[in-house]
Structures are given as structure tokens and as C-alpha cells.
Structure 1
Amino acid sequence: MPAEAPIDDDREALRAERAHLAESRAALRRMREHAEGLSADTAADWVSRQILEALLDQRVAALADHPDTPLFFGRLDRDAVPGEDDELPATVYVGRRHVHDGERGRPLVLDWRAPVSRAFYQAGPAEPMGWRRRRRFGFQGGELTAFEDEPLDGRALGPSAILTQEIERPRSGPMRDIVATIQPEQDAIVRAGLPVSVCVQGAPGTGKTAVGLHRAAYLLFTHRERLARGGVLIVGPNRAFLAYISSVLPALGEVRVDQATIDDLLGEPTAAEDARTAALKGSARMGEVLRRAVWAHLAKPAEGLVVTRGAARFRLADHEVRETVAALRGTTRYGAGRAMLAQRLAHRILVQMEQRGGAPDDRVQDQVARSQPVKRLLDQVWPKLTAEQVLFRLLSDAAFLASAAKDDLTGEERAALLWAKPYRSHRSAKWTAADRALLDELRDLLERTPSLGHLVVDEAQDLSAMQLRALGRRCAAGSATVLGDLAQGTTPWSATSWKEVLAHLGQDGEVTELTTGFRVPGPVLDFAARLLPHVAPGLAAPRSLRAGAGSLDVRAVDDVPAALAPAAAEKLSLQGSIGLITADADVPACSDALTAAGLAHGVLGADSGGDERLLVVPATLAKGLEYDHVVVAEPAAIAAAEERGLARLYVVLTRAVTSLTVLHRADLPEELAP
């Protein structure tokens, strides 16, 4: 149990810990003041000065002290060995960032990512890792209020009350970090090496998103210089989700990590299309179709090449041009191949110059490569292309599509891909989300896509093969952390195998499964898990560590809109955030019902996280979000709204951290029957 200082020794220990907290905060303030006093004026030039100023600004931001966020949350103790020369102190404090005493250089708090801090998460009676005691601290609004000791000598102890309280603490606003509550199986994923790509199959409430974010923070700490060059990118399903997780990394001292949706990376869609066509375009088979479509633009030369230099004329026969083109075809990106063709043709001309007694150099070769005769031949044989030109031709020219598709697409599939009403040109074409992934593939066939150092992809089960290939290109020279739940796949192309996901990404990664839920109460998780045999029969049912008595309330009502306001008011009398989740089409009616009852609320949008305590949440935006209390309106309507509606309902039913109320007038989906 938390030691609320019931005896004198505990009171004295609590005073000592509070004094250490005050000393640590004062040291952090001095560290920040020192960073603020540094100047970039010593840089050698303007560019270096700008870079140094940016780095100093990041350093100052990383040293921010948030009064309501504990500087440390744990402590490790061991017995000092007399006479042993050991730089590691007998007591270390573990926190969100490193804090040291500037005067003596003494570490007051060790960063949770430091190698020695691993013992705080991994040490146990079976393997104490050289430590004899772990201490956890309880905080209230930044004030240290309690501590709890766990001996590591094998004595059996009950569950940690402080750990349980932290996990169950009501939330409001954006997602919090879990650095104080990381479990051993989660820590093993977080600390996996940079070269290793990790795939996490995580049931609701297992903390997979938090694990992915903490892994990014750990890698940035451990491989700072390398990742500063390549960069780290977090990819989420929508902007509301990104807003929800936006505070986690800054709270851990990492302020320079980009976040994006797949539409941010590939381009916003400007048109819609039916699910079957989108699924077809998202198929990995389209990769080979696009490759053939690009290289089909090469043409045989109608004549050779003649270059005039002064009074001399130099000629390459058409068969020599064909040989040069054939040697380059398919060995490089299309755009690079065009540039290389110009240089190789120019080189063959230079050989003729040398044979006639000349002494041309590289400048002469560049001049020949840029000459009008060579440019005319390039435009005929290896024309310039854009991704939009190629896709426009593919989707509007039946003969060209058939030639590029060969046996990879059936006649029926080719007919489905062709535009019913072709656009006039690629400049006026409107592109769907699936088209954007095809355009990205085409751009990479033309010019190489730059690679990041590390990529974190959340809700990866909802991405098509072509979208995954697009992300894979962005970590081709790096690694990835892939997060998701096959049971929560709600798109027409949702993945059924993580090995396939990793293959499309081009990563040879390890698949780890998290099945223990720390956030969702047991009755809620068990209720939702009735859908698992129907949405993901191959997955094991998740289990919750929380008994959650009274957390589930399923009510049959005569009028769902009329029942919403009383249910919401009931939740507002409790602590924490409230999400009222409904089918997208019913959002206006639910919002109107709350307004009529005088309940202040917000409506979650695709581009915003929503700051109100009570939020009306469209079912399609609920994925990845958590609320202390959830009210679900008419589950049958959610399940019937889309092809994979049962998977959507599974997502919706697992958003609650403390309580779930289900209101229904129509019969519940039969798959929810016990």
C-alpha cells in the first residue's frame, strides 16, 4: 500500500524525498537558465549560426519544467560495497529526463532511457539486476504525496497500489505518457535496437500506441546523432488522433518529431470512389502494373544521333542508340536513366573524337549531353514523364492499361479501374485516396524517395498494400515500429497478417503480441471480445488486469436521443473525460439532444482533437482514442453503417477506461450475444 507516512520513519523518508524533488527542480531551473544564456554568435557563418540557434532553442524547450508533471517517479537502491571503485551510486532516481547538479556534476535524476534505468522496469525477485529495492512515488498535482517500496529479494508482494492508481487515474485532454507505468513486456519492445523493425499486435488497452511513442523517444535518446540526420516520423490515422497523442513526446523531452497522416504524406484526395475499386487500386499487384506503365514510354529511335562540333560531324547509328537504351532500361529509376542515357551517348561521341586525334575532357562531354541533338533524341526515345501523366493515361486508355496489366488484372478488374468519364487531361483530373498511393509509387519509379531514420506507423492494419509500400520507401534505409490490431481493421483492404504488412513495408521485422489490457476494465473488454470470432478469428481474446466491477451498463431504451442527455449528465457527475460515440450519420441528432438539455459539449472533427470534457465522437474517428467514460448510442447502427461495421463496433466498445454505457432501441447485433 502507498506509505502515507503512518509512522515516524515514513514521515522522515517522505520529507527527504520531497527535499530531493525540490533540489532536482532547482537544478533543472539552473540547467535551463544556463541553456538560455548560451549564444550562437560563436558560429563561423550565418548557416551554422541558424542551425546552432535552432539546436539551442530545442535544448531550452526540452528542459521545460511542468509543475504538474513529476520530475522523477521511481528510485533504485542497492548496498554499497566498501572499497569497491564503482561510479554508480547506491541510490538512483529515475525520471523523464536527466537532471544534474551543475556545481558538482552529481546526477540527481537519471533519464528513464539510460541503460541503468532499465532495471527499474525489468528487475524482479528472479533477477534483481544488482538492486535490492525499487521505490515508486505517488504524486498529486506535482506534489509528492506517497511512496511504496518493493524489495527485490524474492519476498512475495501484492500488486502495486501506486501503479494501479496511476493507470486508473482519470484523464482529460491529450494522451499522457506511461513512462512511470511501463511493464516489462512493454519495456522490451521500447528498448529494441534501432536496426530492428518491430511490429506490435496489441489488443485494446494494452498500450501499443504509448509503447510506439516511447520507443521513438528511446531511440532518439540512444541514437541522437544518427536520427538527427535521418529524422523520425509518426504516422497516425487522422489529425484528431495526432492531436490526441501530440503531448507525449514533448513531455519526454523530445520536441523535434514530425507527425503526419497518410494523406499528409501522399496528398489529400480530391475525389471519392467505391470501396471495391479502392481496394483493387490498393492491391500490391498494382506495383508491377505501374512499373510496366512507366517503362512502356520508352521508344525505339527512328534514326541515329548526329552531333556537330565545329566542322566535324560525329554519328551514332540507330542500333547503337538502341543498345545504350537497352543497357539502361530497368536498371535504375526512370528519371535517373534519362540523365544517364544523355551522358552515355555523349561518352560514345567523345570516343569518336579521341579516335580522330582530339583530346576532349569532361566539360566537352557535358556540353554534348546538353546539346540540342541529344535533347531531341531523348525526348523521342526516353521522354520526360510525371506521375500524373502516367496514371492519367493508365486510367483513361483501355489499350494502354491492358498492355501494362498483362495477366496481373482480369478484364473485369481493368474495366473497374477505367474512368467512366475520363478527364480532359492529367491537369484537370481529380484523384482519390487510392490514386494518391499509386501516384506516390510512380514518383518513386521516376525519382528515388528520400528515406527517414525511423518510422512509427499506428493503426497500420487499416493501410492498403500500396500505402504501406509508400511508407516503406520512407524508411528503406532505416527501420520501423508498426502498431495495430488486426481485430480493429475497418477499411476494405484491412490487413489479415502482420507478415504481409511487413513485407509490403519492405521490412524484415519481429512480431510481438500484447494481450494484457491495463486500461480497459475487464467486463467492458469481455463484452467487446464477443465480436472477435467474427472480425478476427485468429486472435486470442485479450484479458484485462482490472476487475472493473460495475463498469459495464447495457440499457434498452424506447428513445435513444432522449436517453443520451441523462446518460451524459450521469457521467459528468464523475471525474474524467466523456466520449459519446455514435454512427457518423447520427452525430447531428446526438449533438442537438445534448444542446436541448443544456449540456455543453464539443463535436470531434477529422481535423481537430476537441478540448471539451464531453465530446460527441463519430464512430469512424474513435480509433486510437480513450475516454474515462463512454456512452455508445445504438450499436446496431454503427455495425450496419459500413462493410466492416462489426470491426468498427469492436473499436467503439473498447474506448472506455472507467465505464461504458450502451444505449440501444434496436436489438444488439446478434454477434454480441453471450
Structure 2
Amino acid sequence: MSENVQSAYREEQDKLDSVLEEIGTQLARLRAVPVYTGHDFTEQVLEAGREERRQRLSKSEPEPYFGRMDFEEDGKPAPAPLYIGKTGLDGRDPGSLPIVVDWRAPVASLFYSFTGGEERVEYEAPEGVIGGAVHLKRNIMVRKSELERVVDTYTRGGEEPAVSDEFLLYRLGENKDNRLRDIVSTIQAEQDKIIRAEKNKALIIQGVAGSGKTTVALHRLAFLLYQYKEQVSAEKMIIFAPNGMFLDYISGVLPELGVGDIQQRTFTDWASKLLGAEQMLADPSETLDFWFGESGGAAPGDDAPGRFKGSERFRAMLDAAASALEASGAPELEFSPWDGKTLPYETILHWYADEYKHYSASGRKERVLARIRRWIEMELKPVKPETLRKEYKKKAVQREKAYAKKWPDFSPLTLYKQIFGAAKDTRGVLPGEAFEGIPASVLKSTRKDLKEGRIREEDLPPLLYLHLLLNGIEGTERFDHIVIDEAQDFSPLQVSVLDRFVRGHSFTILGDLSQGIHAYKGVHAWEEMSGLFGADETSYHALTRSYRSTMEIIGFANTILTGGVPNAIEAVPVFRSGNKVRTIEFGAGEKESAEAAARAIRALWGREHKTVSLLTRTQDQAKALHEALLPEFPELNLIDGGMTQYEGGLSVLPLHLSKGLEFDAVVIADAGRNRYGDSEWDAKMLYVGCTRALHELWVLHGGETPAFLDRGGEWSEAGWPKI
């Protein structure tokens, strides 16, 4: 260790001791105050503030900060050292500089955006643009209140070159457990730009595999809560993720950042509950089994049920159907509560079409019927004698109930059934020719499902859209911000629906078109989503640098893209080298496949890897492989779509469920032509599987492989390794 490094280490050890002492002092003072449990509101607010500080200090004690930047502000005589942490730590004296600066504070943006050089730098603060010079940028690792690592990435006037990637590579080289972790200490400049982007825009983020887009989105939520604390609340934010297991995988990031109460759901769970349709949902495995079987064919076209039902052309049909139903809402009948008394149809229509036109269709119906009941009450008052009034009232109640039944059912499901011919349009509202654009196969299969009382995930967006058109939306149902993860698997209609649930188009929409393996329902180009917003309502960001995998794994995965996916965006790896990708032929047959998988596990599991996964094409193949390997590997976990927790360790799962997850080592169980064809869709599937690996990737195959799969070359080596 050089003298400069030793000096820096001693300096930081002294600083750490001082900060920990201050944290301990502040904690002791707060803990000495008795916890208030009374009913006085003012005291309750004060106690809540004290408890929040207790928790924040306790959380920061093991790792109070991770970086230091010496910044000389314009007009100041000398640079001031700024320590950056997950949470801020104020000094004891009012008006004094913070001991630790919150990573979300404006000045902390310099720590992420500055990459070297002696030019003047600036950052935006509430009081305006502040400029100055950076003298030192230092990464510091503190764990369990112990100083472990000090790395200077920039020293002004220093002769040694900046080593900005050294600390990043150190962190990337660590093994994974069963949870995604925060990246506060290693946020890169391009990621920080997205995190700090303005709130009221739909951000569309195209991020290659391993670019950290999910983690960036979670950090963006924490930033928005800090930056716009008076405008947004955690309870009014929601993250939509692909499945329950993925939600469990990312569940630790926000608490690590000191953020709680943000909703985390799948779109299916959220939408079906809102519609009250949970019991009608078909088993999604049927759809997955159909599309992820060994098709070897082309990716689904626009007439696939999910693509069609999520399209703008189908939305136009839904608009037309809802408009036709709403326009004919009031039945062309006068209302007579008893003989000799009549409420003209023209009056009822005026209430419906004019006085209540700003309400939803169902709201207008409710208000008209309520007004009719009030009209009946007013007309009954002058009726005498009492016996006659009671007789009229009894008749009025009966006739009002009969009249109400003549109004249309503004239920989205009823209208949806009529659109597909699964229920009769008894009022003749919907013109048949308006829906001639529905593909015959979609019409037939959907009609059958609806008649049998079943809906599929692809039906939820149009049903929810009809719900909004016919019933409107409650103010309490609106969100301050929505994150859509794996957004390439969402349809334009899904995003259109969600846009009505969020204020100011405040979205973080992230995904990777090269991982669009759910092409039967998702978008094929980001323009399908950006076109939903005005030019000033959206912004596009591309993250092309991959931080997950080694150069060898990314290089191998890129050969799959260049060979099988036209115009694909290749990932640019960080300079982190590892072993070459292993491409291993095991012969032919299920027995040989299982034996090869077992041999791979023996070589990889129990060494330095904490998480190892076997990836198959289908759930049935995963189940068969699990049964074959379980006697030798009882710790092997079988993962299916119904699981809500990822336990880490050794696992076998279908490839489509691995999206978003990371493993120290990945074994593609069989990449042969018996499982994958030469289509773009097949290439994307194998690309997803290969890019799950952080440190080691083995590709097993039973002979011939797809044309795009490179079995040799610069990034791979054939055959079993010598161990």
C-alpha cells in the first residue's frame, strides 16, 4: 500500500470514527426521550418525527456514507469535503453544513455526473445554478461500521490517471443472493440523468440486458419522493412487474433506500381486482404453454389475440361501442309512476344528455334515476288522502324498478360480450359492421371464452378501458407516478389505460426490445408507446452499457442478436473479464440431457457461486429435469409461474420466468434445434437466458444448434472444462 493510500485510509478512518460518534450521540439523545403514546395531535406529530430520525440514524450507522467529493464553490476560498450517503445527517448546530449529504440532494448529482477533468462544473439547486471546481472524488466502502475500502477516482492536478471503473468493477464482481440490491454507491452518469429527470413526463427507457434499468427505476422513485415531497406520496406510486417472484426479487431495494409504502403489483392482479374479475381469470399457463412450446416459427403477428386486443385499432372499436351505448342510454319511454301522472321522455333525456353530461354513462344513469325518485317524492306530497298517497307510493316503487331495468347495463363485461357476440345486444345499439375488423380466430376464441364465463389476461386492458369509458375514475384511484417494468411486454392499450390513472403522464417505462419474448402481446417498437403521448410529454433514453455480465458472456450474447435479430441493440460490456462461455454437446435424448445438466451442476454448484440456475424452454421441461436431478440434488428448487418468492441457491426454471433475474452461473439446459428454431423470436429467448449470467455461462445442446448460436469463436470454448 503506497504512502498516499495509507494517508487517505487514515484520514477516512478518523472521519468515520467522528461520524459514528455523532450518530451514536444523536441516537442516544433521541432514545432518551420517552415515546409518546397519548392522544395530543401535536405531540403525536413530534413523536413521529423523532421516530423517523431514530430509524434513519439506526439504518445509516452500519454504512453512513459511500463517497466523498471535495467541491470548491465559486466565490469560496477553499474546497469543502462533502460526504454522500443513502440518508443525510445534519449537524447539531442550525445552519451548519450537513455531516452527510443525502444522495438525492442537488449537490450530490456532481458525484455521479463528474467523470474527471479540470473544467468548471455546475449543478441545479433551488436557489439557481451553482458552479465551481471538483478537487477530489473518492469512493468509500463501509460495512458494519468498519472501513473496508478507499478508492480515489479523481484528484485535481494529480499525475495518476482516474480509475473510475475500479470501484464499480469491485462491486460488480461480488456474488448474488436472492435479492436485487441498491446501486447508490455506483450509479453511473447516464443512469443518474434518468433518475433525476423531471416528474411530469413519460420516460421510455430502452435498456440492454444488465444495464440496471430496473434498479434505476426504483432509485428514481426514491428521488421523486425526495425532490417533490410536497406533491407526491409513496402510497400514490405503483410498480408494475411481470410476476410475483420478480416482485419479491426487487422488494429489498426500496427499504434499503429508506422508502416504504409504494405499491408493487402485477398488472393482472391489479386490473382483475379493480374489475372484480379475479374468479373469471383463465389459467395463464395455457397461454404460455402454447406460445413457448417448440414453435421454431416466426414471431406472432398483429392478429395474435394479445397484439390485437392491445392495439390502437381495437381501442377505436371500443370507443365506438361505448359511445353508441352511451348515446342511447336513456330508454325512449316516458315514465308514469301511477295512472294520470307522467314524466315526459324529453325531460328525462334533457337530464341525461345535458344536465349530467359531464358525468360518466353509469353516473348519468344513477343521477337520472335518483332524480326520478326525488320527482316522485315531490309529486306524492300533495296527494290526499293518506291512503291514496300510500297506494300511489307502492305503485311508484314497483314501476320505478321496472323502468330502471329498461336502462342499459353499463357493465364493461356486458358490453364486451356484446362486441364479440357472446351476448345479445337486445337494444340494437351496436352496428355489426363496426366490428368486422376483428380477426376471425380472435372472434371465435374470445366468444367461446366469454360464453363459458372465462377471460384471459389479454382481455383485462380492453375491459378496464371500457370500465373507464362507462364508469369513469375516482380521484382516490389516481397515482402520482407509475413504473412499468418489462414494458416491451405491455400493449399500447395497457399504457393508454394506465395514463388515465396517473397525473401528468408521470411514467417510468422501461424494457428491452431485444428481450421481447412475449411478442404475442407486447410492442415490437417503442414508437407504439411514444405515439400515445405528445412530443413534449415523453422522452426517450437508451442504456447500452451492461454491468451484469462479463465481457465474454456479453460478447457471446451479442453474437446471438447479430445473427438472429435484425437491427438489435447490442450491449456494451464494462471491462470485466471472466471465463469463456462453455458450449457443450451431450449427445441426444432426455437421459443424456439430464446427465449433462447434473455434470454441469457438479462443476458449478458449491464452488464460489451462490446462485446457479438451469434454464429450460418450457415449464414441462423444467419439471422433468427437476424430477430427474432431485435424487442427487435435493436442494434443487423448481420455479413456476405461480411462485411469489425467489429463494436463490440452485434452481431450475423455464426461460421466460428468468427475465429480470440474475444468477452467478447459468446453464442453458438444451439449446439444440429440437428446442429452438432460427426465428427472431427464438434468438431473443436464448439471448434472455444467456444474459441472466453474471460470471459463468454454459450452453448445453443435443447436437445441431440454431444458425445464430455461435458455438465457438472469440467468446466461447467447446467441451467440458478441466476441473
TM-score interval (norm. to shorter): 0.7 to 0.9
User: Are residues 1:601 and 2:636 paired?
Assistant: yes
| SS of residue matched to 2:261 | coil
1:261-300 equivalences in 2 (<5 Å): 261-267=266-272, 268=278, 269-271=281-283, 276-297=304-325, 298=328
Runs (5+) with no aligned partner, structure 2: 123-131, 273-277, 292-303, 381-392, 714-723
Question: Residue 332 and residue 638 in structure 1: after superposition, are their counterparts in 2 closer, same or farther (change >3 A)?
Answer: farther
Q: Among 577, 582, 586, which residue is 1:548 paired with?
A: 577
1:52-451 equivalences in 2 (<5 Å): 63-65=57-59, 70-79=63-72, 90-102=80-92, 107-123=98-114, 124-125=116-117, 126-129=119-122, 130=132, 131-139=134-142, 143-151=146-154, 153=156, 156-228=161-233, 231-267=236-272, 268=278, 269-271=281-283, 276-297=304-325, 298=328, 301-305=331-335, 317-322=344-349, 325-327=352-354, 332-342=359-369, 375=400, 379=404, 382-397=407-422, 400=425, 403=431, 406=434, 409-410=437-438, 412=440, 415-416=443-444, 418-420=446-448, 423=451, 429-449=453-473, 450-451=477-478
2:655 partner letter:
A
Give the Å deviation of 1:551.
Answer: 4.1
Give the Å deviation of 1:466.
Answer: 3.0
Question: Residue 417 and residue 377 in structure 1: after superposition, are their counterparts in 2 closer, same or farther (change >3 A)?
Answer: same
Question: Residue 597 and residue 350 in structure 1: after superposition, are their counterparts in 2 closer, same or farther (change >3 A)?
Answer: closer
Give the Å deviation of 1:509.
Answer: 1.2
Q: Is the 8 A contact 1:76 1:93 kept in 2?
A: yes
Question: Residue 656 and residue 266 in structure 1: after superposition, are their counterparts in 2 closer, same or farther (change >3 A)?
Answer: same
Deviations 1:450-494 (Å, cap 9, x if unpaired)?
A: 320000110000112333333223225450000100111122022
Match of 1:560 in 2: 593
| SS of residue matched to 1:108 | coil
User: Are residues 1:490 and 2:480 paired?
Assistant: no
Question: Residue 544 and residue 457 in structure 1: after superposition, are their counterparts in 2 closer, same or farther (change >3 A)?
Answer: same
Q: Following the alignment from structure 1 to structure 2, what is the Cα–Cα distance between the partners of residues 37 and 469?
A: 48
Q: Is the 8 A contact 2:9 2:150 kept in 1?
A: no
Q: Among 667, 671, 674, which residue is 2:704 paired with?
A: 667
Match of 1:43 in 2: 41
Deviations 1:570-606 (Å, cap 9, x if unpaired)?
A: 2221143222222222212332343232452222233
Q: Is the 8 A contact 1:240 1:604 kept in 2?
A: no
1:167 partner letter:
L
Give the Å deviation of 1:555.
Answer: 1.4
User: Are residues 1:519 and 2:548 paired?
Assistant: yes
TM-score (norm 1): 0.84
Give the Å deviation of 1:234.
Answer: 0.8
Q: Is the 8 A contact 2:417 2:423 kept in 1?
A: no
Greater displacement, 643-652 / 489-498: 643-652
Q: Among 498, 501, 515, which residue is 1:471 paired with?
A: 498
User: Are residues 1:573 and 2:576 paired?
Assistant: no
Match of 1:359 in 2: none
Q: Following the alignment from structure 1 to structure 2, what is the Cα–Cα distance between the partners of residues 222 and 14?
A: 30
Q: Following the alignment from structure 2 to structure 1, what is the Cα–Cα distance between the partners of residues 450 and 701?
A: 45
Q: Among 567, 571, 574, which residue is 1:538 paired with?
A: 567
Deviations 1:224-247 (Å, cap 9, x if unpaired)?
A: 232128711111001111111100
Deviations 1:327-357 (Å, cap 9, x if unpaired)?
A: 479865211222454578899999999xxxx
Q: Following the alignment from structure 2 to structure 1, what is the Cα–Cα distance between the partners of residues 233 and 492?
A: 29
Give the Å deviation of 1:186.
Answer: 0.6
RMSD: 3.9
Q: Is the 8 A contact 1:619 1:638 kept in 2?
A: no
Q: Is the 8 A contact 1:136 1:148 kept in 2?
A: yes
Q: Is the 8 A contact 1:524 1:660 kept in 2?
A: yes
Match of 2:482 in 1: 455
Deviations 1:500-550 (Å, cap 9, x if unpaired)?
A: 124457893101101111222122112112232466523332211134242
Greater displacement, 285-294 / 492-501: 285-294
Match of 2:388 in 1: none
Q: Following the alignment from structure 2 to structure 1, what is the Cα–Cα distance between the partners of residues 73 and 502?
A: 46
Q: Following the alignment from structure 1 to structure 2, what is the Cα–Cα distance between the partners of residues 338 and 442?
A: 16
Question: Residue 568 and residue 140 in structure 1: after superposition, are their counterparts in 2 closer, same or farther (change >3 A)?
Answer: farther
Q: Among 625, 641, 652, which residue is 1:590 paired with?
A: 625
2:472 partner letter:
R
Question: Residue 27 and residue 210 in structure 1: after superposition, are their counterparts in 2 closer, same or farther (change >3 A)?
Answer: farther
2:614 partner letter:
L
Give the Å deviation of 1:441.
Answer: 1.6
Question: Residue 106 and residue 154 in structure 1: after superposition, are their counterparts in 2 closer, same or farther (change >3 A)?
Answer: closer
Q: Is the 8 A contact 2:154 2:164 kept in 1?
A: no
1:545 partner letter:
V
Question: Identity of counterpart residues, as a percentage?
Answer: 25
Runs (5+) with no aligned partner, structure 1: 354-367
Q: Following the alignment from structure 1 to structure 2, what is the Cα–Cα distance between the partners of residues 183 and 506?
A: 29
| SS of residue matched to 1:646 | helix
Q: Following the alignment from structure 1 to structure 2, what is the Cα–Cα distance between the partners of residues 638 and 142?
A: 51
| SS of residue matched to 1:75 | strand
Aligned length: 642
Greater displacement, 549-558 / 318-327: 318-327
Q: Is the 8 A contact 2:664 2:693 kept in 1?
A: yes
| SS of residue matched to 1:666 | coil
Question: Residue 302 and residue 8 in structure 1: after superposition, are their counterparts in 2 closer, same or farther (change >3 A)?
Answer: closer
Q: Is the 8 A contact 1:281 1:438 kept in 2?
A: yes
Give the Å deviation of 1:326.
Answer: 4.7
| SS of residue matched to 1:173 | coil
Q: Following the alignment from structure 2 to structure 1, what is the Cα–Cα distance between the partners of residues 561 and 362?
A: 48
| SS of residue matched to 1:495 | coil
